[in-house]
Each structure stands twice: as structure tokens, then as C-alpha cells.
Amino acid sequence: MSETEDINKIVEILRKVPAKNLRIIELANNIPIKDGLFDPVILEKLLPEINLAIAEAKAYGSTTIMAVDALVRLSIRPED
């Protein structure tokens, strides 16, 4: 495959990737702040959901890193 074909294939694949709205961002934006910190009472009540959101963010980050690494390897591949 030529470099142009590779790029077109990557663009096609990336267009199919759905947007991701991470729960951790929504949670952080909705937890009340008390004395400059997140309200600890609310944090305790939301702990299971927070832990799930953290796991989701870590998994998303890991797969993003793998995708970036694949793109880097492709970009440094010697031309035929």
C-alpha cells in the first residue's frame, strides 16, 4: 500500500470512531465544591460511580495511546 492509501485508510477508520464523552468529566462538573474542594459527603455517596468513571477514563487513555503508537509506527515506516 502506498503512503496516500495508508493515510486514506486511517482517515476512513478514524471517521468511524464515535465521539467519547467521559463520565469523569461530567461527574467532576456536577459535584458541588465546598471550601474550595469537592464536597466530601457527595464524593463518598458517588464513590462507586467515580471508580467506574476512573476505570473508563484509564481504559480510554490506554487505547488512545495504542492508536497513537500505531500511527507513529506507520509514519516512520520506510517507503517501498
Question: Model-level pTM greater than 0.75?
Answer: no
pLDDT of residue 43: 92
| Residue 59 is assigned to a structural domain of this protein | yes
Provide the strand spans (E) within the chain. 33-34, 37-38
Task: Supply the pLDDT for residue 12.
Answer: 80
Each residue's pLDDT tens digit, 29-76: 999 898 899 999 999 999 999 999 999 999 988 888 888 887 777 766
Greater confidence (12 vs 79) lies with: 12
Domain range spanning residue 70?
20-75
42 is a domain residue: yes
| pLDDT confidence of residue 56 | 93
Residue 65, in any domain of the structure: yes
- Other Cβ atoms less than 10 A from the Cβ of 14: the count is 10
Is residue 38 domain-resident? Answer: yes
